[in-house]
Each structure stands twice: as C-alpha cells, then as structure tokens.
Structure 1
Amino acid sequence: MPIEQLLKIMQQLREQCPWDRAQTPQSLTRYAIEEAYEVEDAIRQGSIDEIRNELGDLLLQVVFQSQMYAEQQAFNFDDVVQAIIDKLIRRHPHVFQAEQYANLSSEQVSELWQKIKQQEKQGQTQSYLSDIKHGPAISQAEQIQKKAAKIGFDFATTQDALSKVHEEISELEQAIQQNNPDEIQAEFGDCLFSLINVGRKLELSGEVALLSTIHKFRTRFAFIEDQARLQDRSVHDMSLSEMDQLWEQAKQQTSS
C-alpha cells in the first residue's frame, strides 16, 4: 500500500539523509503550520492538482513527526491513526450508535459533540483560556488578550499599552547586546505580543494590518523587479543603493 511505502521512505530518510536526521519534533513544527496554510491556499485557488500535492505535503509532516516519536519509543504512525479513529467513533455516537441517537438535528449533534468533549476533559485542570484554539499566532494573541481584558487584566489606555511596547523593545536591545539567542527570541516574541495588544486597543486586526503591509511590500518589490527587467538586469545584480532608490519610486507611485 502507498502509505506503507511512505512510512518506509521516511524511515530511510531519517537513517540516511543528513538534513532529515538533524530534525527534531520542535524544529519541524513551523513546516506543519506552513503546509496547513499551503493547503488552505490551494483549496481557495481551486486547483485539484495543487490541492492533492499540498495535502501530500501536510501528510508528510504527520509521518515525519510520527517517525521521530517512534524512534523515541513513544508512539508510531499506527498509534496516531488509531487515536483519531477512536476519537471519531467516540464523538459520533449518532452515527455509530444510531439506534440510540436517531433523528438528531445539526444543533443537537453540535451540543452532543461539545458534551462528549467536556466528558473527555473531566479531571483535567481547565484554564480560563482553554477554549481559545491553537491556531495562527496573531489570532491567538488577540483572542487571549480580549479574554483576559474581560476580567480586567488589561492596560487602562492605549498609551499604557504602547509604553509596554517601548519597554519590550528596550529589553530586546539588551538581549541582542548580550548575544543570547534564547533571550533574543523570547524578547522578540514579547515585542510582537505587546504590539498586537496596541492594535487590539485601537480596534485594529493585526492579521489584516500585516496582510496589508505584506501586499504593499510585494507590490513595491515587484516594481523593483520590473525596473530591473527594463534595464535587462536582475535584482540579484543590483546594489542595495539602487534597490533603495527604486523602492522610493515605488512608494511615490503607490501613495499618489
């Protein structure tokens, strides 16, 4: 079966490929996130070939992680599959025990699903923030901040939140001076979190604002590439000074 071949290939890569061998579960998480976004984009674009290929890339991340944990004798791919099988059956009694749950409406099915989820969590300590889904970091940050604000854990004013940004930037500068990679990453994350909080206080969506800036950057960089082509050149051959001059021209065009 293809899945068995894929599992064998993954095992071989972990044994013989230097890059694959060097990876850890932690180092690969960014790729799982990236591949999930690629799947979303392919589905939005509607290309069947791309959807199939991107789903394969996402599946690879599951197989890769499973192989690494199998090497630790924690669990393997079959255990992952069995876990989701058990969960699907457990959370769909209206399907697999239909005689006991006949003719449920969509709303009743949703209520039953939530009830079963709560039963699964019985005995576990639940945080006030537990219902916030793990997803895109900006969205998580905004939802966490909004929920914390509901119980009064919030800055009184936007200016107070902005002052926190300046404080975090100062701490980032200190970490950079000390050349401590772990501290640099931690302080950089604090800067982002604090800046998102300012956006929340201003009733701005961090995701929308960042996507707008990304679009602006892409547009201006495309202008640089177009100008380079008009000169029969490549951006790879341009100096920083030349690109900066074209960037300023692009800014003038987009602001006019």
Structure 2
Amino acid sequence: MQDLLELMQTLREKCPWDREQTPASLTPYAIEEAYEVEDAVRSGEIAHIQEELGDLLLQVIFQAQMYSEQGAFDFYDVVEGLKQKLIRRHPHVFDENYVNLSTDQVNALWTQIKQQEKQQRGQTHVSALDQVKLGASIHQAQQIQQYAAKLNFDWENVEGAWLKFDEEIQELKQAIQQHDPVHIEEELGDSLFALINVGRKLQQNCDQALLATISKFRSRFAYIEQQLAQQGLRPEQCNLSQLDDLWNQAKDAEKV
C-alpha cells in the first residue's frame, strides 16, 4: 500500500496529465470506474474484476493525494474515518447492547445513525429523500450514443434527434392506451434514450443535467418539509395543492 501511495505521489510530480487534474476533473472517472466494476462483476471474469477494482482504488488514491497536497487530509485519514464509521454503524456487531437484531431492525438502526451523523455535522434538517442514494445516472446511454456517432450512426443535427424523440413519445402514449405493461416499459426506455440523444446533440452532459435537477428537487422538497415541520405537519398529511404552493415558494426563494 505504501508503495502505491508513493507511486501516486511520483505521478503527480512528474506526469503532466496527472499534475493538471483537480478533484472536480477526476470525479467523472470515479463514476465511470464504478460502472466498470459493476460490469465486470456481472461478467463473472475474475481477472477483469480484479483489474477494475484496482482502477476504482486508483480513484481513491488519486483524490486522497490531491487533498493531501492541500493539507486537508491524506489516505490514512480516509482509512481511519471509514474504519470508525463501520464500527459506529454496526452497534449490533460491536456493542453487546444491540445483539440479536433482525435485518429490518439493523436497517432501521443504520438509517437512524446516519441521520444522527448528519445532524452532528451541522445539517439541521434531514430530508426523507436523503435515503435515496446519490449518483444514479444515464452515463452509459450517452456513452453508447457517442460511440455509435463515431461509426457514423448518428443524426446530422439535433432536429433529427428531436423528431425521433417525438416519435418515441407517441409510441409510449399508444402503449399506455393499450394498457400493456411490457410495451410501456419498452417504449419508456426508448423515449428516455431518445431524449438523452437530444441532449447529446446539444452537447450537454445529460448525466450532470439530471443530477443537477435531482439536487434541485431535493432542495425544494427539503424546503417543503421544513415549512411543514414549523406547523407540526408532515408532507403525507397534506394534499397536493398545499404541497404545490410550498413548492412554488421554494422556487421563488431560489430567485432571491
């Protein structure tokens, strides 16, 4: 491990590409490597899995090295933090007061501990949506389309992609009218894929666009929860009209 850390430090000092990287510029590679690990595991090829796990580890090493250069933390701080978190989130393993819990009880305890950690970090409000994991993306679809475009399988301009999207939406509507779940799923996938293609033709990073929208949704929904909490209410106790009014308030607050 020490040899690997020293190698990473040497690369940062002597490789022009490595020197130019920042934590932000490197993040897309971490996401890509995580997908490649998933693909390798599905393939069942042991050598491939080993290689892709190494590539993913590289992203951790690289990020830690950059933050170490800033004097923020180093790799060993990451390791220690992870170790303490695992112990803290597994009281049913390391604390005799929490033995013999069921799987459901363990999951509930895990969520409770995570919420406590966020509050201790100064996050006063914990949204119900925080249980939804970050990082879901449409990266693979856009990558496939970009590759196909290099092989001349592409529209000449965005108008062609937009017409295809309109076509897929109409087919989705027809599937819905037919009440055919299998057909609906297929056409929904086709519509999403076509919309991603429109974004690609507009030279947009569809993954980042969607993640930005998800972040915006989280923020606005948290506003709704906070406003209702002041009245002693929860979202499930309100009708759609009440929630929509608060949603619009959240939008207006963003403009201030």
Name the TM-score class by shorter chain: 0.5 to 0.7
SS in 1 for 2:131: coil
- How far off is 1:131 after superposition? 3.3
**1:33 aligned onto 2:31:** yes
Q: State, as a whole percentage, how many aligned pairs show the same letter.
A: 59
Secondary structure at the counterpart of residue 11 of structure 2: helix
Deviation at residue 208 of structure 1 after TM alignment: 3.7
For 2:134, the equivalent position in structure 1 comes to 134
Residue 209 of structure 1 corresponds to 190
- Please, which of 92, 108, 112 is the counterpart of residue 109 of structure 2? 112
Deviation (angstroms), 1:46: 0.1
Structure 2 match to 1:56: 54
Deviations 1:225-245 (A, max 9, x none): xxxxxxxxxxxxxxxxxxxxx
Larger Cα Rg: Structure 1 or Structure 2? 1
Aligned pair in 2 of structure 1 residues 129, 20: CA closer, same or farther (>3 Å)?
A: same
- Residue matched to 2:229: none
Q: Give the superposition deviation at 1:68.
A: 0.4
Higher relative contact order (CA 8 A, sep 6+): 2
- Determine if contact 1:138/1:206 at 8 Å carries over to the other structure: no
- Following superposition, the deviation at residue 105 of structure 1 comes to 1.2
Which of 109, 118, 121 aligns to 1:121? It is 118
State the alpha-carbon separation in 2 of the partners of residues 52 and 41 from structure 1.
Answer: 12
CA separation of 1:116/1:129 partners in 2, compared to 1, >3 Å: closer, same or farther? closer
Q: Distance in 1 between matches of 2:100 and 2:54?
A: 36
* Paired residue type of 1:71: E
Mind listing any 5+ residue stretches in structure 2 that lack a counterpart?
Answer: 140-157, 177-183, 195-256
Corresponding position of 1:100? 97
After TM superposition, the score normalised by the length of structure 1 is 0.54
Q: Secondary structure at the match of 2:82?
A: helix
**Distance in 2 between residues matched to 1:135 and 1:17, nearest whole Å:** 30
Equivalent residue letter for 2:38: E
Matched position secondary structure for 2:98: coil
Once structures 1 and 2 are overlaid, which stretch shifts more, 15-24 or 105-114?
A: 105-114
Structure 1 runs, 4 residues or longer, greater than 4 Å off: 198-207, 210-213
AA in 2 matched with 1:209? D
Query: How has the CA–CA distance of structure 1 residues 74 and 48 changed in structure 2, closer, same or farther, with 3 Å as cutoff?
Result: same
Residue 205 of structure 1, CA deviation: 8.2
| TM-aligned CA distance change 1:206 to 1:39, over 3 Å | farther
Can you list the C-alpha shifts for 1:46-79, whole angstroms capped at 9, x where unaligned? 0010000100000000000000000011111011
Q: Give me the CA root mean square deviation.
A: 3.3
Deviations 1:171-228 (A, max 9, x none): xxxxxxxxxxxxxxxxxxxx9xxx9xx8999876899438977xxxxxxxxxxxxxxx
Could you state the TM-score of these two structures normalised by the residue count of structure 2? 0.54
- Name stretches of at least 5 consecutive residues in structure 1 with no aligned partner: 140-168, 170-190, 214-256
Q: Mapping of 1:171-182 within 5 angstroms?
A: none
Distance 1:48 1:26, change over 3 A: same
- CA separation of 1:32 and 1:206: change in aligned 2, threshold 3 A: farther
Q: Which amino acid aligns with 1:137?
A: S
